[in-house]
Structure 1
Amino acid sequence: MSYNRRKFISFMGKAGLGTVVMPQFLISCGSTATPTNGFGQISKEKLSTLKAFDLMGLSATNKDDLVLANGLDYHTVIKWGDKISDTDTFGFNNDFTCFIPFDDNNPKDGLLWVNHEYVNPLYVSDFDAKKYENPSEHRTKEQVDKEMYDVGGTIVRIKEENGAWKVVENDPHNRRINGKTPISVNWDSPIKGKSTIIGTNSNCSGCITPWKTFLTCEENYDGFFGETEYDEAKVATHRNSYYGWENFYNYPPEHYGWVVEVDPKDGTAQKHIALGRFAHECCTLYELEDKRVVAYTADDKNDEHLYKFISSKPGSLKKGTLYVADTINGIWLALDWKTQAVLKSNFKDQTEVLIRAREAAKLLGATALNRPEDIEIDPVTGNIFVTLTNNKPKGDYHGSILKIEENNGAFDALSFKAETYLAGGDENGFSCPDNLAFDMSGNLWITTDMSGSSMNKEDKPYMSFKNNSLFVIPRFGADAGKIIRVVSAPTDAELTGPWFSPDGKTLFLSVQHPGEQTVDKNNPTSTWPFDADNIPKPAVVAITGDLIEKMNLLNRIEVNS
């Protein structure tokens, strides 16, 4: 797709941003934030400073550092191994982040949720998986226990004092949800004989619910306990995992691959079976006027699908219908065992349909997509944006962003229009879009996910992009429609989980898997964040500065003036 700035501005829509009052929950879904009371008020002196600010982007770089554009600074909020209490430490490979303030009038004190997607055994359990053709055959139970602890998620209280966000150590809210945490099943039938599941893993993206709990999504679950596969005769066999946890814990694969809800008040959690089982990259909610909920979620694998759940009861993620997208014909197809004859003939009940959602989706004729990942709702137009990261076997190396426009703008509609919004590649200066975020002025932020094994290699198609980065596409002003690189990641890392603080002055961002291509701990490919022990550590950073304030505040003020 040839990129055109004028088309972008028309495509995104400008109407009324300065005067529209955005729905309170829409601006808190996905990767934005709920503004604190008084958001948008700014002194004349500060306004003058912001108007004088030039938005200058970065050139691509392979420097082993978190490199920021002019007008930005960062500090580390928390990193792998940091204490959050006397008994718990921060997990590994942090991904999605979100923040809920204790008080809507105070944006500087609240709870940070962080996903922990997977581990690098070389550091977490002192196991060198790269030495073995079948690593799972060589692990010990002690090593697996260490790995199970470092996945899942973290709840931690943070406060901003003198311009820096810091962890409130030993706060009663601080806790870990990990690979051994008991989690209930939100369903009328047990899953493989259990109504309580042990642990969560492969936690990728998520969101905050309208009732202020966290959703965390289990993505590449088959790497931990394998997968159950069926042949043409419907005979089941077990495909072994990469990590080999099933060699020590007899937990069925069907216990993983779900959307998990965590209550920040007490850490209780439940797995939502009605949303289906697959490699959930994300789950983004929209609350309808009657308080029913629509949940968009995507399956991050080549040739998999885009899903939507529509609840039939207010505030429910259990009662309702799961749909899968036919993007060619613009139809949401119901994964409903009772009404779909093809599902009745292939599955014994609705529970089996949801457990084997991928197979059910294909039987219905859902459209195969190129690794659908993050989903965000444009707070101005209500359009849904979906990142399609890539599909190398099909020759799609750079990915794209898909736009979904629901019929008549109704999120519970069963028909829609779909078109490519933006394609990755050299022409547009980025590759492999992953996480998206709309800020409080409607500007679009994009992180990229080129694999560490492919970046900065002369024989790969990613050489010109160098390290993974964070980009912003301004919605207004002289820079409207430009794709501007504002942050570059350290070596081997990707940037994930962008989330804005309620006052629009901080962007929380994960730096995930720096130095992941390391084969010798004495010679790491990255040493970010440059601790005394000189090893790479995943971390959450807080990015601040005039550029963040400009993007979140100035555009609104200019439109109003």
Structure 2
Amino acid sequence: MEYNRRKFISFLGKASLGAIITPPILIGCNKNSTSSNEHKNYHNYLEKLKKVVLEPLAPSNQDDLILTKGLEYHTIIKWGDKINDTDTFGFNNDFNCFIPLDDSNPKDGLLWVNHEYVNPLFVSNFNFRESKKLKQHKTKEQVDKEMYNVGGSIVRIKEKDGIWKIVLNDPHNRRITAKTPIKLNWDYPIKGKTTVIGTNSNCSGGITPWKTFITCEENYDSCFGETKYNEKNIASHKPSSYGWEEFYNYPPEHYGWVVEVDPNNGTAQKHIALGRFAHECCTLHELKDKRIVAYSGDDKNNEHLYKFISSKPQSLKEGTLYVADTINGKWLALDWDSQPILQNKFKNQTEVLIRAREAAKLLGATELNRPEDIEIDPITGNIFVSLTNNKNKGDFHGSILKIKENNSDFDALNFKASLYKAGGEESGFSCPDNLAFDLSGNLWMTSDISGSAMNKKNKPYTAFKNNSLFVIPRHGKEAGKVIRIASAPIDAELTGPWFSPDGKTLFLSVQHPGEQTKDKNKPTSKWPFDKDGIPKPAVVAITGDVIEKMNLLHKI
């Protein structure tokens, strides 16, 4: 893969304030620079990138976070750590994003971290694997502990002498949990409420152009179950796996949304117009007229890819939600007013959005293999979508889908879909999950091989061993290759890669180490090797020569 210099420069102006980081070389090529200087900067950039040497890691099943030569890490915060006098860091950290408090100082800012789900064995001392055998039932106190440990955390962090640390008791530090009141950004109540209780199942997310945090509710049915409809459109309740509804009668329809959190005061709102499904992420792009385009995937087998286009500037309410027909390259409007087939099934637009999955299938949207993270290439404007796998269809290793919008317009209603990378032993990766572009346009990717399938003999994932972090360089001899950069501890998944504004630090979550543990006295992992010997999810800062060289643009 090679940069096309004309595209490289012409794409300037299409870059989003939120989803796309405009590489500084692009800014330099467009402002007060001569043709000669543009060529010189571009040439120097290419030459420097060609000198970057990456030493790929071999697959590992060690119980540690292992990094390639030229990288090191330190732990910023882990489960149970205090963030202020009353709050502690939640469990199973996933997505990370960082906003500097002052744009002139990239070493001091607010870190948002999602807390996706809990392992009851560690969080509430409920052995869910043995509960039926032991005839045990959760208490309200146990459920309360679980509800506290999901949601998200805002912590102020500072870097000094190469080490990132939290600023304990900073006024910004706070928790958003499954008990936090959250308003609905919609004109009509849902199940009688305009303010609902809590957020859960928080997977990936993003940052808005106005610098607030986006967090996405994914497997919400684990918490309060789900409402199911039969062929006669009669509703019934499917119980949750956590059993929270035994103590809190919260409707499932209050969950499964995209949530926006204000870092300044912790207030939050759920954006109904973006639809209800297992949101892995929500990637925003701001158009020239300030309207918003938001991409999101439904992380479940045979579900869909969605796009919201706002009709008003900086709105995540007024606009139209579309679902992808990737075979014919069309965005199909999930619009009750204009789609008779939706009018025959649903009462109004609110019901269409609540039951977005059903509506998408009625319109003939393409079923995909677990669409997860979505990122926008800052150079070409193409949209990359992780399709993790679909074992029921024989797709064990997944792939990365590339979407090219018509005329590179993000609000286009036609596009071309193509395969970018297929997982498997030949390509060196399996089950792609989170994606991130660095300042130079290199693509970073984490894997999501299930802990129950990992490191098993005669299984399709044996050769890959533990989950890993990969990079796909854009230049040099290794351009286009998938290179393993880091290997996760046992049972763990690496999630939420996010670069600091100066490109010198990669923030990364180590999620669910020791997840397959059946007995707390015999954990399958002991990472991060605390004195108590219990595995703990944590956010780490990865630094070193490789990170800086891969992010060369900010130095030119």
Q: TM-score, normalised by structure 2?
A: 0.94
- Match in the other structure for 1:510: 509
Q: Where in structure 2 are the equivalents of 1:414-425 lying within 5 Å?
A: 414-425=413-424
Q: Where in structure 2 are the equivalents of 1:230-379 lying within 5 Å?
A: 230-379=229-378
Give the deviation of 1:14 after TM superposition: 3.5
State whether residues 33 and 500 of structure 1, in contact with CA within 8 Å, keep that contact through their aligned partners in structure 2.
Answer: no
State whether residues 129 and 135 of structure 1, in contact with CA within 8 Å, keep that contact through their aligned partners in structure 2.
Answer: no
Measure, in 2, the Cα distance between the counterparts of 1:17 and 1:543. Answer: 31
Amino acid across the alignment from 1:26: S
Q: Which runs of 5+ in 2 are unaligned?
A: 30-40
SS in 2 for 1:138: coil
Measure, in 2, the Cα distance between the counterparts of 1:336 and 1:49. Answer: 50
State whether residues 178 and 201 of structure 1, in contact with CA within 8 Å, keep that contact through their aligned partners in structure 2.
Answer: yes
Give the deviation of 1:52 after TM superposition: 6.2
Q: Deviations over 1:69-99 (max 9, x none)?
A: 0000000000000000000000000000000
Measure, in 2, the Cα distance between the counterparts of 1:72 and 1:150. Answer: 31
Mark the CA change 1:59 to 1:14 in structure 2 (over 3 Å): closer, same or farther. farther
Q: Deviations over 1:485-521 (max 9, x none)?
A: 0000000000000000000000000000000000011
Q: Where in structure 2 are the equivalents of 1:149-548 lying within 5 Å?
A: 149-548=148-547
- Match in the other structure for 1:6: none
Give the deviation of 1:36 after TM superposition: 13
State whether residues 17 and 286 of structure 2, in contact with CA within 8 Å, keep that contact through their aligned partners in structure 1.
Answer: no
Q: Deviations over 1:373-423 (max 9, x none)?
A: 000000000000000000000000000000000000000000000011110
Measure, in 2, the Cα distance between the counterparts of 1:336 and 1:496. Answer: 34
Q: Deviations over 1:417-473 (max 9, x none)?
A: 001111000000110000000101000001000000001000310000000000001
Measure, in 2, the Cα distance between the counterparts of 1:287 and 1:261. Answer: 16
- Match in the other structure for 1:118: 117
State whether residues 50 and 550 of structure 1, in contact with CA within 8 Å, keep that contact through their aligned partners in structure 2.
Answer: yes
Amino acid across the alignment from 2:124: S
Mark the CA change 1:342 to 1:102 in structure 2 (over 3 Å): closer, same or farther. same
SS in 1 for 2:129: helix
State whether residues 18 and 286 of structure 2, in contact with CA within 8 Å, keep that contact through their aligned partners in structure 1.
Answer: no
- Match in the other structure for 2:74: 75
Mark the CA change 1:82 to 1:23 in structure 2 (over 3 Å): closer, same or farther. farther
Measure, in 2, the Cα distance between the counterparts of 1:28 and 1:339. Answer: 31
Query: 1:102 and 2:92 equivalent?
Result: no
- Match in the other structure for 1:4: none
Number of paired residues? 541
- Match in the other structure for 2:32: none
Q: Deviations over 1:151-178 (max 9, x none)?
A: 0000000000110000000000000000
SS in 1 for 2:99: strand
Q: Percent identity?
A: 73
Mark the CA change 1:313 to 1:135 in structure 2 (over 3 Å): closer, same or farther. farther
Q: Deviations over 1:341-372 (max 9, x none)?
A: 00001000000000000000000000000000
Pairwise CA RMSD:
2.3
SS in 1 for 2:341: helix
Give the deviation of 1:55 after TM superposition: 1.3
SS in 1 for 2:117: coil
Amino acid across the alignment from 1:29: A
State whether residues 7 and 380 of structure 2, in contact with CA within 8 Å, keep that contact through their aligned partners in structure 1.
Answer: no
Q: Where in structure 2 are the equivalents of 1:29-108 lying within 5 Å?
A: 29=19, 54-108=53-107
SS in 2 for 1:197: strand
Measure, in 2, the Cα distance between the counterparts of 1:167 and 1:404. Answer: 38
Amino acid across the alignment from 2:67: L
Amino acid across the alignment from 2:456: K
Measure, in 2, the Cα distance between the counterparts of 1:127 and 1:184. Answer: 32
Q: TM-score, normalised by structure 1?
A: 0.93
Give the deviation of 1:23 after TM superposition: 4.5
SS in 1 for 2:53: coil
Query: 1:26 and 2:16 equivalent?
Result: yes
Q: Deviations over 1:110-142 (max 9, x none)?
A: 000000000001110011000034999711100
- Match in the other structure for 2:33: none
Mark the CA change 1:294 to 1:197 in structure 2 (over 3 Å): closer, same or farther. same
Mark the CA change 1:141 to 1:413 in structure 2 (over 3 Å): closer, same or farther. same
State whether residues 374 and 383 of structure 2, in contact with CA within 8 Å, keep that contact through their aligned partners in structure 1.
Answer: yes
Mark the CA change 1:312 to 1:20 in structure 2 (over 3 Å): closer, same or farther. closer
Measure, in 2, the Cα distance between the counterparts of 1:153 and 1:62. Answer: 30
Give the deviation of 1:298 after TM superposition: 0.5
Q: Deviations over 1:174-217 (max 9, x none)?
A: 00000000000000000100000000000000000000000100
- Match in the other structure for 1:3: none
Measure, in 1, the Cα distance between the counterparts of 2:233 and 2:405. Answer: 37
SS in 1 for 2:222: helix
Mark the CA change 1:143 to 1:513 in structure 2 (over 3 Å): closer, same or farther. same
Measure, in 1, the Cα distance between the counterparts of 2:13 and 2:497. Answer: 21
State whether residues 397 and 422 of structure 2, in contact with CA within 8 Å, keep that contact through their aligned partners in structure 1.
Answer: yes
Mark the CA change 1:366 to 1:133 in structure 2 (over 3 Å): closer, same or farther. farther
State whether residues 36 and 106 of structure 1, in contact with CA within 8 Å, keep that contact through their aligned partners in structure 2.
Answer: no
Measure, in 1, the Cα distance between the counterparts of 2:548 and 2:327. Answer: 40
State whether residues 136 and 242 of structure 1, in contact with CA within 8 Å, keep that contact through their aligned partners in structure 2.
Answer: no
- Give the 4+ runs in structure 1 shifted more than 3 A: 16-25, 32-40, 47-53, 133-137
Measure, in 2, the Cα distance between the counterparts of 1:344 and 1:135. Answer: 49
Measure, in 2, the Cα distance between the counterparts of 1:24 and 1:441. Answer: 17
Amino acid across the alignment from 1:313: K
Amino acid across the alignment from 1:362: K
Mark the CA change 1:117 to 1:351 in structure 2 (over 3 Å): closer, same or farther. same
Amino acid across the alignment from 2:499: F
State whether residues 35 and 503 of structure 1, in contact with CA within 8 Å, keep that contact through their aligned partners in structure 2.
Answer: no
Mark the CA change 1:249 to 1:134 in structure 2 (over 3 Å): closer, same or farther. farther
Amino acid across the alignment from 1:108: K
SS in 1 for 2:5: coil
- Match in the other structure for 1:141: 140
Give the deviation of 1:54 after TM superposition: 2.5
Amino acid across the alignment from 1:517: Q
Amino acid across the alignment from 2:428: G
State whether residues 94 and 512 of structure 1, in contact with CA within 8 Å, keep that contact through their aligned partners in structure 2.
Answer: yes
Give the deviation of 1:17 after TM superposition: 7.6
Give the deviation of 1:29 after TM superposition: 1.2
Measure, in 1, the Cα distance between the counterparts of 2:80 and 2:6. Answer: 46
Mark the CA change 1:28 to 1:95 in structure 2 (over 3 Å): closer, same or farther. same
SS in 2 for 1:442: coil
- Match in the other structure for 2:34: none
State whether residues 301 and 369 of structure 2, in contact with CA within 8 Å, keep that contact through their aligned partners in structure 1.
Answer: yes
